[in-house]
Structure 1
Amino acid sequence: MKKTLLLLSLVAAPALAGEGKWTPQQVLELDPAWLKAQGLQVPPKRLWDPKRGTGLLAGTVSVGGCSGAFISETGLIITNHHCVFSIVQEHSTPQRDLLAQGFLAKNREEELPGKGSRVLVPRGFTDVTKEMFAAVPEGADDLARQKAMERKEKELIAECEKRPATRCRVASFDGGVQFVLLDSVELADVRLVYAPPRAVGEFGGEEDNWMWPRHTGDFSIIRAYSAPDGSAAKYDAQNVPHKAEFFFPLSTEGVKPDDFVMVLGYPGTTFRALLAEDKAERQARFYPRVIDVYGELIRILKEEGEKDPAGKLAVAPTVKGMGNRYKNAGGQLVGLKRGRIVEKHREAEAAVVAWAEKRNEHAGALKARSELLSLHAENAKTFEREFLLDVLRMASKGPSLALTLARLAQERVKPDLERRPEFMERELPRLADRLEREQKNYFAAADKRMLLALVRRAQALGEGERIAAIDKHFGRTYAEKDVSAKIDALYASSKVLDLAERQKMAGETEAQLRARKDPLLDFGFDLAAEGVALDELRDRRAGANVRLMPPWRRAVMAHAGKPVAPDANSTLRVSFAKVKGYAPRDGAFYTPQTTLTGVMEKHTGQAPFIVPDKVAAAAAAKKYGPWVDSRLKDVPVNFLADADTTGGNSGSPTVNGKGQLVGLNFDRVWENVANDFGYNPDVARNVNVDVRYVLWMLDQVEDADGLLRELGVRKGPKAQERR
């Protein structure tokens, strides 16, 4: 296997503590003696073999924006309940509400396929920094630079994906200090094996989201399948369970305070490398706007959903996704203020500037920073328009689908390497899945009300930030009855929201689509024009960023004089941690574990604190089985650790020093949300489901004997004999 070059030489490991989302290759540079002292009981090369470019870490997989882990050689994967929410919803109806009831496949024939669900298994990492920069023509401006690098990225990916069932991407580290080609096997046959009732999987709902103490069973089990010859394949009844080379056995002993753990996964995006002014804008403008806009959209979705049982099911995933983003924004604001993160970053940045001013070799870093600040000021002028246009392009299903169809028709006529990345041939199967899957999430009454709210906001924009598509179709000033009537007419006379017609449209040319005279499609084409202009503007900014950030980041890392892990970018990482509590405020201390007794204490019989009858009965009877913690004298439910995590770590396996799974990451505490901008060891805590709660649910509540045998925690027939 190919291997990535080192981003940094990692020394002085004891200084790392829980901070850092380290790449697999970086782990090999940590002091083995220090890792052993922390609690690692396997050789570091078992985690990642540099010769093969794989290892135990490859048991961690990417699951559609979340993380997950193989837990058997027969393709079983554990991830969060909220990460497979769409599969459960896909198979739910008002008459058979699997979201509410939960689901357990008694045999493999009963497992439910997830349309469009995919699992990526890491296979190789290759440094391509030289190739990326060599592709930039001499004298290129920022837009040309970005276009050239994007084309090279596409070429590298195309070459990488010549092998069947392969998914590749190029990831940027530290704003362009390094580029790495990631090579993964794509498993496209994914089936639901077990999901607990929603009242377990999101016990506490939004009220407990990001909070501690927590008592949520946010876990589910899926299975990846392959063709009979072992190759990756799309869904087929003849497929067989995927044989995983690496998987994490389940620890039946769980954890206790101060235990060493590792959290493995694909953390999405963090912002620690941003300049202080960029962080300040997020605090002053971005997060307040998220709370404002998404708060209104969530209220609309809930109000309309309560009027219709089918509508409530349809909007559930959107409410869940928006709700998480909404509450996250609130936590970011609290954390940024509490930790004085912007102020501290200004001080740290000033220290780097003062240090660099005395070193000629970093003169370019100072110049780059000055230009980055100028670009920041320029970009801020169109913030409101860009934010609203982004929401408009994805929130309301009607405009979003119409825009997608319009852009698809326009992009498809171009040579593949000249298309926007999201419309290249490799993306068309995913796009087709989305065009079909969104039908399940569409509820007309809610969709039209959301569009009405967004039009009202767009019509209130100032002269320099107008959205031309809104002005053209709805006028420049807001009159609710008039705009509402136009929206009703737009939807009533459109075929975009008819699944069969939409699938036909996906194969039509721009001329054919325009000949339909479909008003929603016409609106989509006008939104697409706005999108094209915004994409080009952002490409120019990206080109400037990749020119300016590397010299500045090199100066920052040189000034630090110690390891600096790169910002999260949805690539495989590992964070080392200890199980520990924390003090959320003066005079209070939270212990790091919660129990089944705590679940029942929260039970009110009213949402979001409803314990399903079968769970309550087992708890009342103290049917703990072998899953009781001898110290707690109870079944452990959740635990805290000081791992460095973020969004994308949902479903990350939390493993002990032996490489056994002891839990499943699903959240952070409220005080730690702003961890995205800076690690604070006092409050940096991630929230995990204890594996013993998972096993208790399967054993004492669900009586899932066959699944427990397959997982190797109960004696019986071999895993492959489960039927």
Structure 2
Amino acid sequence: MRKLASLVLCLSLLLSFSIAKADEGMWLLSLLKKQNAVEMQKMGFKLSAEDIYDINNNSMKDAIVGLGNEGRPFRHFCTGEIISDQGLFLTNHHCGFPSIQSHSTTEHDYLADGFWAYNKGEELTNEGLTASIMVRMEDVSKRVLATVNDEMTEDERFEAINKVSAEIVKETEANSEYKASVKGMFEGNQYFLFVYEIFQDVRLVGAPPQAMGKFGGDTDNWMWPRHTADFSMFRIYTDANGKPAKYSADNIPLKPRHHLPVSIKGNQENDFAMIMGFPGTTNRYLTSFGLEETMNITNKNRYDIRTVKLDVMMKDMLKDPKVRIQYASKHAGSANYWKYSNEQNKALKKLNTMGAKQEIEAEYTAWANKKKKRAAKYGDALNMIEKAYTDRKESRYEMSYLSEALLQGAEMYMFAYKSTGLMKKLSADSLDQASIDRSVEGLKGTAKAFYKDYNLPTDQKLLAALFAKYAENIEPDKRPDIFKVIAEEYNNDFAKFAADVYSKSIFASEESYNKFLENPTADAIANDMGYEIATSIIATYRVLSNEINKGAEGLSKGKRLFVDGLMQINKKQNLAPDANSTLRLTYGKVGGYSPKDGVYNKYYTTLKGVMEKEDSTSYEFNVPARLKELYKNKDFGQYADKDGSLHTCFLTNSDITGGNSGSPVINGNGELIGAAFDGNSEAMSGDIDFEDNLQRCINLDIRYALFIIDKYAGAKNLIDEMTIVK
């Protein structure tokens, strides 16, 4: 998006910004033939657009899986790719991490030891995990936007769009097992319908030990060179008719419409490579005003607060194997964007992204004011955006602290808030015992899952540390009321307050909560210290939300008009909409990069680097004995490169973001050569401003994954399922 900023604003205002090269853009599959196919073929793609997306015939899209959770299946958190005719798919280790953790115990520590199913009967079920495969997509902009006009308020516009979108979804899903969603693009200037098959029986098949799957830990995260075996494997199951179904022992492996052949031929610099997946969120059309908020509030506060949170968790994790397992997924999830926030701010400053945004805005303003009629519609867009960000600055700062330190801090009191429904039923004028009993049974199940990965002493420490951090940065009159209690009754001694809370709250332990559920009362919930904390925080959250929402009308309209203007300015250019968790394709080439003067990073790493990084004193750089033995003996089998080494990871200049984790890296023949899992720190500005010379996607070499499956784990049953291209 940096290319939106042209060097000179011509006096004639005949602007033509070149804003998207091959390596920039998350492209919609249904538009590939029109927008990208010719350029892709010139770069080395040997197939056609129809080989990627075809609603009448099997195509590559049928092998791409969006991972989600039941209840939020369209919010894909990762991507996978089907690699056998039996529904086997590959994704990242960090995508499978919550599932691996959920099955781990001190007796069966799959995090530390890895997990491999040597037959289908050994595969592990994962309740709530979904796998979506896109059936088709359709531009429905004309129908959706026909319901709105310029005289509408943004709220009226929103309601009209939601109404027609719901109608489209209802019509699409009628008499069908498919699920549908209408998604806005370009800040509400376009709309597309996406239709999916959503599978609910997804089983864990294999994962290397954490020492390999997360090799390098937080130290190497977002860094190159990289040597992480970031993969795990799952299988999709269906009912006997091949349709989506919840888990049943009678379910059968999916027979996919397409699966990706797996190439062990390797890759060379400048080889064509494309990535398909479900990127989560980008903000390429963000203004300078939004950028200031992102840098100085969102990123800074997230990094500062999570530094405290991660330190508390890690200290307890290192002391106790059970706590390590309980908090492994929580720590990993928090740490990822902790480091990202800091590295992104560094990159944004170094690359002067603010200057690039301001240049775009200056050129937009000149375009908007060129004609009177145009100025009337578009001339005030940036002013509306600036005012909204300025007016909400204080509230956004307070909200970021409330969210990170309190809502996403210690867990006990927010778990306590889940009993609100039961409390209301218990305090009703007319008691419905059957309804109360159903609530109690539901809470028992919720409690079992919650306390499995909860450690009272750790949570108590988190409350004390994060409440103290919050109080250091938020003025007393802006804090939740519970902080008045802490000041008046505990003299702002947060450790003492936390100790009192966790010694008295019925929610502090599974035993005390289950005992309460045997004879629940409304007063016991309402007067509980944990519950009081939660209600106090929620009350402040609502106040801040209202403050922030006061400017939502102007911000929404301003952003929509601003992006509409950019689309008109660049109407002769192919524009890619921001990522929004829908299936996209990005393409480019394999290649290294120069992060600074005199330094060039080559495009691949090898197993030798794993051995060079080994540090037995660091949990991040442990190397399993079996892997060292295979390396010593050079026992790489058919997965070695032609130079005899075993390649571990490689780089492409692909445009990815969160949600692309696990996405297949595919060569010009449509064969799988790797799995995307990270980006490089020098270009962490990429979600906001793509930097052509620095932006790189870090990918697992598929040969390293196959080597681990075959040689390390001995799971040849999985290798035999795949279509291996030599």
Do the aligned partners of 2:300 and 2:341 also contact (CA within 8 Å) in 1? yes
User: 1:32-431 residue pairs with structure 2 within 5 A?
Assistant: 32-49=37-54, 51-52=55-56, 55-64=59-68, 65-129=77-141, 141-142=153-154, 146=158, 166-363=178-375, 364-391=377-404, 392-406=406-420
Do the aligned partners of 1:190 and 1:225 also contact (CA within 8 Å) in 2? yes
Do the aligned partners of 2:202 and 2:237 also contact (CA within 8 Å) in 1? yes
- Secondary structure at the counterpart of residue 468 of structure 1: coil
Do the aligned partners of 2:236 and 2:254 also contact (CA within 8 Å) in 1? yes
In structure 2, distance between residues paired with 1:147 and 1:34? 40
Q: CA RMSD in A?
A: 3.4
Do the aligned partners of 2:279 and 2:582 also contact (CA within 8 Å) in 1? yes
Do the aligned partners of 1:290 and 1:326 also contact (CA within 8 Å) in 2? yes
Cα deviation, residue 179, structure 1: 2.7
- Secondary structure at the counterpart of residue 550 of structure 1: helix
Do the aligned partners of 1:406 and 1:528 also contact (CA within 8 Å) in 2? no
In structure 1, distance between residues paired with 2:495 and 2:540? 23
- Note if 1:494 corresponds to 2:505: yes
Partner of 2:563: 553
Do the aligned partners of 2:490 and 2:496 also contact (CA within 8 Å) in 1? no
User: 1:585-600 residue pairs with structure 2 within 5 A?
Assistant: 585-600=596-611
Superimposed CA distance per residue, residues 205-246 of structure 1 (whole angstroms, 9 cap, x where no aligned partner): 111111111111000111111112212111111111112112
Cα deviation, residue 273, structure 1: 0.7
- Note if 1:25 corresponds to 2:38: no
Q: Does the C-alpha gap of structure 1 residues 433 and 337 become closer, same or farther in structure 2, counting only changes over 3 Å?
A: farther
In structure 2, distance between residues paired with 1:549 and 1:79? 35
In structure 2, distance between residues paired with 1:152 and 1:574? 28
Structure 2 residue identity aligned to 1:521: Y
Partner of 1:604: 615
- Note if 1:706 corresponds to 2:717: yes
In structure 2, distance between residues paired with 1:537 and 1:243? 51
In structure 1, distance between residues paired with 2:716 and 2:145? 56
Structure 1 residue identity aligned to 2:263: S
Which of 503, 510, 530 is the matching residue for 2:540?
A: 530
Q: Does the C-alpha gap of structure 1 residues 89 and 334 become closer, same or farther in structure 2, counting only changes over 3 Å?
A: same
Superimposed CA distance per residue, residues 322-371 of structure 1 (whole angstroms, 9 cap, x where no aligned partner): 11111101210111112111111111221121122213453222212211
Unaligned stretches of 5+ in structure 1?
1-10, 412-429, 716-723
TM score, norm. by length of structure 2: 0.86
Q: Does the C-alpha gap of structure 1 residues 539 and 277 become closer, same or farther in structure 2, counting only changes over 3 Å?
A: closer
Aligned length: 685
- Secondary structure at the counterpart of residue 196 of structure 2: strand
Cα deviation, residue 531, structure 1: 3.6
Do the aligned partners of 1:176 and 1:546 also contact (CA within 8 Å) in 2? no
Do the aligned partners of 1:165 and 1:233 also contact (CA within 8 Å) in 2? no
Structure 1 residue identity aligned to 2:52: L
Q: Does the C-alpha gap of structure 1 residues 498 and 226 become closer, same or farther in structure 2, counting only changes over 3 Å?
A: farther
- Note if 1:675 corresponds to 2:680: no
- Secondary structure at the counterpart of residue 710 of structure 2: helix
Do the aligned partners of 1:505 and 1:513 also contact (CA within 8 Å) in 2? no
Unaligned stretches of 5+ in structure 2?
1-15, 69-76, 426-441
In structure 2, distance between residues paired with 1:695 and 1:304? 35
Partner of 1:420: none
Q: Does the C-alpha gap of structure 1 residues 14 and 279 become closer, same or farther in structure 2, counting only changes over 3 Å?
A: closer
In structure 2, distance between residues paired with 1:263 and 1:43? 15
Q: Does the C-alpha gap of structure 1 residues 486 and 653 become closer, same or farther in structure 2, counting only changes over 3 Å?
A: same
Do the aligned partners of 1:459 and 1:466 also contact (CA within 8 Å) in 2? no
TM score, norm. by length of structure 1: 0.87
Structure 1 residue identity aligned to 2:349: K
Aligned-pair identity in percent equals 30
Do the aligned partners of 1:54 and 1:123 also contact (CA within 8 Å) in 2? no
Cα deviation, residue 304, structure 1: 2.2
Which of 503, 523, 531 is the matching residue for 1:521?
A: 531
Do the aligned partners of 2:525 and 2:531 also contact (CA within 8 Å) in 1? no
In structure 1, distance between residues paired with 2:474 and 2:176? 51
Superimposed CA distance per residue, residues 471-494 of structure 1 (whole angstroms, 9 cap, x where no aligned partner): 35534798454x333333333343
Q: Does the C-alpha gap of structure 1 residues 266 and 432 become closer, same or farther in structure 2, counting only changes over 3 Å?
A: farther
Cα deviation, residue 407, structure 1: 7.8
Superimposed CA distance per residue, residues 47-77 of structure 1 (whole angstroms, 9 cap, x where no aligned partner): 112x549841232111131111111121111
In structure 2, distance between residues paired with 1:78 and 1:39? 25
Q: Does the C-alpha gap of structure 1 residues 652 and 360 become closer, same or farther in structure 2, counting only changes over 3 Å?
A: farther
More moved, 11-20 vs 673-682: 11-20
- Secondary structure at the counterpart of residue 278 of structure 1: helix
